[in-house]
Chains A and B, each alone.
Chain A
């Protein structure tokens, strides 16, 4: 049985690996790292193929590759949809580890069920010939050419749609806590080249602070906290100039004194690097 049910053994093995990866991973989908990309194929299989395959492959009196494939991906999506509803009502909610246990569990239980059906000769073994005809060199070359063209097309399009706009972000967020007042200032360079800026902070006609040469490489963000001695009485203007052009402010933000009375709680992202 072990030799004949190689497909089911693979399903169980990959499911267990997926659960293990989720247990030690704790990956944040917002921050794709190199480790998670290595395991992405396992996650894709676990979410979109294995549960459905384990449930479907034992249903057919004769192995039908197209139908099994359809049911494998279709039923996996069904398990995802219903699994989300189920997990929502558990104390753990929809977390990577709970997903992995649920989907891996369905795949493993389904595999055992199919193995039992096969032993009772109720379900067929997959036949490789039913899935794919012979692979001659010519077939491989032609499919390979098609694949290369598609991969190149996608990568060229990704490159073409990468942002090529040129702009600079300037921001200022007031904060107050226990009688201390501050402004969190930030500049981000998206100009696609190294930029040299001058930044001036004024209030009531008086210069509070100058940053005469801020050099930022493309994609770099500069942040600073301006500490204030007391509750400001005047509007605080912050001007950002491109170096050498102090006539026209490139960006301008201004903080009204009353804004310090309606401040938001500073988020961790506001702290200086």
Chain B
């Protein structure tokens, strides 16, 4: 039945009432406004999915709908977290809502397939575990991946018991991990501040980390390890309030959680050790001053011991794998600071495509808000929480934040900055949240706090999204050759599945970057790559004739098959190369690669063309390596 007349005043004041204790209409005891917020969030997810669909089909408007959907999810939640009448049930419910919504933002981009480069590598590790029933199988695409099988263990456990595929099981594990991360952070901050509001805002600020939306929901080891680290920190806080046998039960379980992080992700283990050592120092300090501590020392030592043991036994190649990344970042940063190298262009991907101006403004605004929030937060921390040892440790860790935007100016260090943000933002979110929520305002001004805090939180989130993804990679898109995840289409995927079923696993094969990941993962082939085989395969594809040196490479690397996607000859590669970074040093050519070079095997003696799906071709070149 339609109302007799529209109450215009009530209608227009609805946004204001959203933050007020509404004792009559719109108010549901216990749940607060959670049910209605859930409807808004689901509508936001729906709008965003329409944006994805339009982008996937090459239609305009996708980006607008993306931001509109995000806002529909974020704004009501942010407003409710600063409402006076927020109750814990509603706060926890909104954290769950936020976790699920942000997971769906990532999941709906590609719900049927993993598409990220790292995701393929870990899928292969999980597949090998499922097939062999054992860990530590060899993965030529990323040899370090099978040595840290935590994520794959959880996936395989779920796949084995539920009958779901690796991809479906992986998505469920990732969704649960997202929930653990945000709920864990919420409970940590709530435990320190005794405030659901501050805890909720801290969780929302954390979503502004550049890795949060997409990187930390990809099928990679950090996506599980970071939530486990948050869980361990929360449990350490809870243990401090227990005694007797319960204390030792907590200790045992925390020890198990820390143990599980070691075989899950190397960097998370090391950064958690650093944090626990820092916390131990602040803990000793506050105890020396006569205040209560949490005694994290023994568990910090335990994690250190396990990490060293793992590196010394299973993960021997870890340092070899990490050191070039870290030394490259260091050299690049030193080069930038000493003026020996130019600054990196911000908001541009490696193909030179950039963000639009309003995104740049939002990203700079978010850095400014976080910077100001950090200063105010440190002041509030000093006034209210300096006797709390973990708050003390967070305050020190948050001081690293100003270095992160600076590191983004360096070509070699920006990725380290990007990866670090997932960790540093835990501390930063706490400090900025207490700055925003506990900064004293005059009574007359307290009503405006929600209207300052909520937009700031949304701006921080938008800034994180802009910093973590370029507009070209943020949304799904129609097929594009030589463009990383955008080059994964049904034809290429079916070629990989064909090779697994017909050729069988672990044939030595070479291809361009996209086909290498597809064949190495879904195709379960043993892809020949420089990292594992110490040969360069670019010349096999880029030269117009098969030379003696090519035959040498085929022989040395025992390459049996070549896989070629002819479509790469129609475009410039998004990363600047098709096969290997140094391919121009092996064969100088003006991109795009000439189709004649790719098709030379059609007429090469002793080569068989065994597969043709129009664009994707597989050659059997085994005889070339064995010819005299």
Contact = CB atoms under 8 A, between A and B. Distances in A.
Partners in one complex: yes
Given A81-B153, A167-B613, A73 B163 contact: no
Contact of B35 (A138, A165, A253): A138
Contacts of B609: 252-254
Contacts of A146: 35, 38-39, 41-42
Given A93-B133, A145-B39, A259 B608 contact: yes
B145 to A, nearest CB: 14
Contact of B184 (A27, A74, A250): A74
A154 B129 contact: no
A88 B133 CA distance: 7
Interface in B145-195: 149-150, 152-154, 156-166, 169, 172-173, 176-177, 179-180, 183-184, 186-187
A69 interface: yes
Contact of A122 (B39, B104, B179, B246): B246
Contacts of A149: 39, 42-43, 45-46
A169 B39 contact: no
Interface string A159-188: 011110101111111100000000000101
A253 B619 CA distance: 9
B228 A32 contact: no
A138 B28 CA distance: 8
Contacts of B435: none
Interface residues of B, number: 108
Given A74-B228, A143-B35, A134 B29 contact: yes
A55 B28 contact: no
Q: Which of B92, B163, B169 has the most CB of A within 10 A?
A: B163
A160 B52 CA distance: 10
A150 interface: yes
Interface stretch (B251-259, B327-335, B411-419, B544-552): B251-259
B43 A29 contact: no
Chain A's interface size range is: 35 or more
A153 interface: yes
Contacts of B149: 84-85
A157 B53 contact: yes
Given A46-B161, A66-B92, A169 B611 contact: yes
Interface string A39-69: 1111110111000000110111100011101
B501 interface: yes
B41 A75 contact: no
Interface stretch (B351-359, B464-472, B488-496, B590-598): B488-496
A211 interface: no
A167 B565 CA distance: 14
A66 B90 CA distance: 11
Interface in A25-41: 25, 27, 29-30, 32-33, 35-37, 39-41
Given A46-B161, A142-B36, A133 B89 contact: yes
A264 interface: yes
Nearest to B180: A74
Contacts of A70: 180, 183-184, 187, 231, 234
Contacts of A170: 611-613
B607 A256 contact: yes
Contact of B187 (A27, A66, A138, A253): A66
B452 interface: no
Contacts of A226: none
18 contacts: A29-B164, A29-B165, A29-B166, A32-B163, A42-B161, A47-B158, A66-B183, A74-B231, A75-B253, A81-B260, A83-B157, A93-B132, A94-B160, A133-B29, A138-B28, A171-B612, A255-B610, A270-B502
Given A27-B163, A29-B130, 10 more contacts: A29-B164, A43-B160, A66-B88, A69-B183, A70-B180, A78-B231, A190-B490, A190-B491, A254-B609, A259-B608
- Please name the 4 residue pairs, one residue from A and one from B, whose CB atoms are nearest each other, closest first: A133-B30, A36-B163, A84-B153, A43-B162
